[in-house]
């Protein structure tokens, strides 16, 4: 399997622009997670889905952030409008729970810079 695939790997945008991050989970995994990592706050969970349904979005910082999972093989995280404080590395991870353990596999991340 190719693993979790994220795109783009790097994104530089100007304040106020819309940013869309994309994720393809590992085939067969039924959970998908979006994280944000910064030096100050570490790795924070933003939202997670089970079978394409959002389960917990309590980590989404504000209404400017939205996430969708239209099918089992694709998810997006959108920031509109973007602000400089959104600059961070955004990771997507997926897991399958039938093993009984919540082992998450991470994508390579999208490094976002908002100027």
Partner 1 sequence: RKEVEQDPGPFNVPEGATVAFNCTYSNSASQSFFWYRQDCRKEPKLLMSVYSSGNEDGRFTAQLNRASQYISLLIRDSKLSDSATYLCVVTGFLGDYKLSFGAGTTVTVRA
CB 11 within 8 A of CB 21: yes
Q: Which is nearer to partner 1, 70 or 100 (CB)?
A: 100
Q: Give the CA distances from residue 8 to residues 59, 83, 89, 92, 108, in Å, rounded to whole numbers and listed in that order.
A: 22, 18, 11, 12, 10
CA distance 70 to 25: 13
Q: Which is nearer to partner 1, 9 or 83 (CB)?
A: 9
CA distance 76 to 98: 25
Q: Which is nearer to partner 1, 5 or 81 (CB)?
A: 5
Q: How far is the CB of 102 from partner 1 (least distance, A)?
A: 5
By CB under 8 A, the residues from 35 to 94 that bind partner 1 are 42-43, 45, 48, 50, 55-56, 91
Under the rule (CB under 8 A), what is the footprint of partner 1? 31, 33, 42-43, 45, 48, 50, 55-56, 91, 95, 97, 101-109
């Amino acid at each position: 399997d190719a693993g979790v695939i994220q795109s783009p790997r790097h994104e530089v945008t100007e304040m106020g622009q819309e940013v869309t991050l994309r994720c393809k989970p590992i085939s067969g995994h039924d959970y998908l997670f979006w994280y944000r990592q910064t030096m100050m706050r570490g790795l924070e969970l933003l939202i997670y889905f089970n079978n394409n349904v959002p389960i917990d979005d309590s980590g989404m910082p504000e209404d400017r952030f939205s996430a969708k999972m239209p099918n089992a093989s694709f998810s997006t995280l959108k920031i509109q409008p973007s602000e400089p404080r959104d600059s961070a590395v955004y990771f997507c991870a997926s897991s399958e729970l039938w093993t009984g353990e919540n082992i998450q596999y991470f994508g390579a991340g999208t490094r976002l810079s908002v100027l």
